Structure 1
Amino acid sequence: MKIVDRFLQYTRINTTTNRENGAAGIMPSSEGQMVLARLLADELDALGMKDIVLRDTAILTATLPSNIPANLTGNQHVPTVSFFAHLDTSAEQKNDTRAQVVSYHGGDICLNADLGIALKQSDFPELNNYVGDDILVTDGTSLLGADDKAAIAAIMHALQTLQSNTEILHGDVKVAFLPDEEQGLRGAKAFDVETFGADFGYTLDCCGIGEFVHENWNAGDAIVTFTGQSAHPMSAKGKLKNSLLMAHQFISMLPAGEAPQYTEGREGYYWVKEMSGNSAKTVLKLDIRDFTQQGYRDRMAFLQTLTNNCVTLWGDASVSIHLADRYENVANSLEGDASFPIDIAKEAYARNNINMIAIPMRGGYDGAVLSQKGLPCPNIFTGAHNFHSIYEYLPVTSLKAASDVVVEVIKITAERASHPR
């Protein structure tokens, strides 16, 4: 099957994550994710994969056994490399995807003439990099689903390439497809790294051709509860203690300019995400992000200190805070001797004449959780652009390149074991 046909087949299955079900602890949160997982399990079986396991959570794993003759490795261990993609698509749009392939010759791309929706070159100037390429786009009424079905297609096509070219030597290769990444990396958090048995891995999630992620946020959450004192306004003087105003004052004491809309690159932030309540009780939710471990700890400590000071200002039981870690920077797990997955990826990119562009990811991805669990897991590009948008698009050449990089990573892993440096 051609890689584009694979991708289109996967996009026809609606796997929109369901936030309500996710909040209720249901996984997968949407039935479409299980439908896609079952299809992939059948395809993996047809490709000769072994140890195919589909759990009731829609977590799907499989192994391609090594084909390296024992005399080539001797007693040298051939590391087991693994690849991950997620089944769900973001809830920003819930409509079925009607993907289309356009031959791009420059200018705007009409997505939907009836609705007057176009992918405008003036808004997305990087389109100029893909003149002469075929590009996968939506009809303007849904996401494309390249996040993360481009990854699924790239991984499956790489396995097909190995099956069709048995002269390519490889060690054990493991793959895993995980649910509900778009809801706090739920599938990765439920994933059993020890049972999986890989030595290292890569996710394919995000980014244009050439981009590579081996650092992301240290991430945490804060829930701040403000308890006031309600009173009728006719007799409120000296009695009413408005928790809504307390919350607003708390927000005003956060560092100016350290919010998502004012930061970029490796600059951390406090993100005021949600506030609900009334004059008697108000709950404020924040995300805390920083690339460095010390910076992250300092931010969490600042919020605790701010809360303590507000208690001093407003009285006991007026403010409480719950701080929780969400995931770590994957860079913490790729230092020193553990940096070899980065080196292998660099060589794989170079062999495919792709200039590696290492970028800090201002977000989380499954690899951050997997790395924290002991499976070093940086991130390879899928080639797609404009995730979580009706303007999401995927150049076909980039999709093929992602799959070629996967194959090359597998080859290099085997070569390094067969011919140690």
Structure 2
Amino acid sequence: MNSTRLVDQFMEMVQIDSETGNEREIADYLLNLFKNLDVEVFEDDTADQTGYGAGNIFVKAEGDADAAPVYFTVHMDTVTPGVGIKPSIKDGYIVSDGTTILGSDDKAGIAAIIEALRTIEDDNIPHGDIEVVITIGEESGLVGAKAFDTSVLNSKFGYALDSTGKVGTVVSQAPTQSKVEAHIYGKTAHAGVEPEAGVSAITIASKAVSKMNLGRVDAETTANVGRIEGGGPTNVVTDYVYLLAEARSFTPERLNAQVEHMTAAFKEAASELGGRAEVNTELMYDALNVAHDSEVAQTVNTALNNIGRDIDFISLGGGSDGNVFHGKGIETVVLGIGYEDIHTTKEKMPVEELEKAAELVVEIAKVQYDK
């Protein structure tokens, strides 16, 4: 492992602007970098489908055909503000100048994989096929992962390097999520002269939301109304309101029950008050539930022990590309890589955790080969 090379790689990448939807520059950089390594690399054609700045990148380091392959996934896009990042090292942490994010989510994951592949090549470490998917649009709805054609993957399981927590943290459970979109229609009227002739869409929406179980619904389920739009002058009864909400749960049955409850609340309130509700729901991603004695979990457990870290299985309330790939039939857990305060201008990346993340990727490949 070459720590200086790893840190330099990370700091170089975070200075390439790649806010979600604008991934062209970082994609070109990565394609050129991987073409100079002993790997196969290509960009898929999903940019036309997604409308994003680039397609996903697939990398394959061919190994012993008799060894089972393993895959890793990371994403190349960042949240905002992510333009003009100026990294530096302070007290063992890589940080930005405080005016932008750092971009360790998820360029730390990319850097760890690049260094791992270089180390495997430099040291002639035996391995099976190592497959890597670098997605676009993760931060804006797991767009790239959803569009990616997993038929190119031969791996039965793998790892998303994209979670908080020190190296050793393993997300084995994450929720499924649905969006709930409601269009509420009332009837306009003069609010001062003839209010009884109108039906307020705002009143319908308010009554519906007041009837909903929101927040922490139960031990496995959460729900939230995130946006309400509509209205106009105070002397006009509002005849249209738009709401956007979500529900999450670790089990599909409870998610479906919560979505049905929220849909019914909109429709019942509209019916009671003489309006109309159109409710659209969309499953955003499947749940991730992986047994601790599964092959994917035990492989990383062995690898962590080999690099001097203990495994810490956790449940996480957010989704990731790992949910998408797991939902497509490729068993996946999400690995903590140590970044801190992500999605803020206080974001920082411990150099020690960056090194351990790269070391873990190498060790997973070795454990998989030795089976």
TM, length-normalised to structure 2: 0.90
Paired letter, 2:27: A
Instruction: Name the aligned partner's letter for residue 99 of structure 1.
Output: P
Task: Choose from 85, 105, 112 the match for 1:97.
Answer: 85
**Alignment partner, residue 298 of structure 2:** 343
1:243 aligns with 201
Give the AA of the match of 2:193: S
From 221, 227, 235, the equivalent of 1:274 is: 227
Cα deviation 1:371-391 (Å, max 9, x = unaligned) = 111221211122101110011
SS at match of 1:215: strand
How much has 1:314 moved relative to structure 2?
A: 2.3
Q: Equivalent residue for 1:301? A: 260
Aligned counterpart in structure 1 of residue 243 of structure 2, from 271, 281, 284: 284
Matches within 5 A, 1:32-71: 33-53=23-43, 55=45, 57-67=54-64
Flag structure 2 segments of 5+ consecutive residues without an equivalent.
48-53, 232-237
By how many angstroms is 1:284 displaced?
0.7
Aligned to 1:25: none
Percent identical among aligned pairs is 25
Distance in 2 of aligned mates of 1:173 and 1:397:
24
Q: Secondary structure at the match of 1:238?
A: helix
Verify: 1:80 aligned to 2:86, yes or no: no
CA distance in 2, matches of 1:359, 1:390: 26
Given that 2:205 and 2:266 are in contact with CA atoms closer than 8 Å, whether structure 1 keeps it comes out as: no
Aligned to 1:229: 187
The answer as to 2:164 corresponding to 1:207 is yes
Q: Contact between 1:193 and 1:374, CA under 8 Å: does it hold in 2?
A: no
User: Could you tell which deviates more after superposition, 271-280 or 290-299?
Assistant: 290-299
* Distance (whole Å) between structure 1 residues aligned to residue 291 and residue 283 of structure 2: 21
Instruction: State the distance in 1 between where 2:160 and 2:222 align.
Output: 25
Q: Which residue of 2 aligns with 1:14?
A: 17
**One-letter identity of the residue aligned with 2:60:** T
Distance 1:306 1:80 in 2: 48
Matched, 1:140 2:102: no
State the Cα deviation string for residues 52-110 of structure 1 (Å, max 9, x = none).
Answer: 44645331112111147xxxx5xxxx32111111011012x24311111012xxxxxxx
State the Cα distance separating 1:179 from its structure 2 match. 0.6
Deviation for aligned residue 1:189? 0.7
Quick one: distance in 1 between partners of 2:272 and 2:64?
Answer: 69
State the distance in 2 between where 1:306 and 1:233 align. Answer: 26
Structure 1 contact 52–63 (Cα < 8 Å) conserved: no
Deviation for aligned residue 1:267: 4.6
SS in 2 for 1:309: helix
Change over 3 Å in CA distance of 1:335–1:63 after alignment to 2:
same
Partner AA of 2:284 in structure 1 = R
The answer to whether the Cα contact below 8 Å between 2:41 and 2:57 also exists between their aligned partners in 1 is no
Cα deviations by residue, 1:171-204 (Å, 9 ceiling, x for unpaired) = 1111111111001000001100012333222111
1:224, CA displacement in angstroms? 1.3
Residues 219/177 of structure 1: CA separation in 2 closer, same or farther (3 Å cut)? same
1:170 partner SS: coil
1-side partners of 2:195 and 2:102: how far apart? 56
Query: What is the aligned counterpart of 1:175 among 132, 139, 143?
Result: 132
TM-score, normalised to structure 1, is 0.80
Give the match's secondary structure for 2:140.
coil
| Amino acid in structure 1 at the alignment position of 2:106 | D
Cα distance, 1:304 vs. partner? 2.8
- In the alignment, structure 1 residue 358 sits paired with structure 2 residue 313: yes
- Consecutive unaligned residues in structure 1, runs of 5 or more: 18-28, 104-133, 417-421
Deviation, structure 1 residue 361: 1.6
> How has the CA–CA distance of structure 1 residues 401 and 194 changed in structure 2, closer, same or farther, with 3 Å as cutoff?
same
3-state DSSP class of the match of 1:391?
A: coil
Which of residues 199, 217, 220 in structure 1 aligns to 2:175? 217
Q: Quote the residue 1:22 is aligned against.
A: none
- How far off is 1:393 after superposition? 0.7
Instruction: Give the structure 2 partner of residue 159 of structure 1.
Output: 117
* Post-superposition offset of 1:263: 8.2
Residue type at the aligned position of 1:194: S
Once the two structures are TM-superposed, the CA of residue 293 in structure 1 deviates from its matched residue by: 2.3
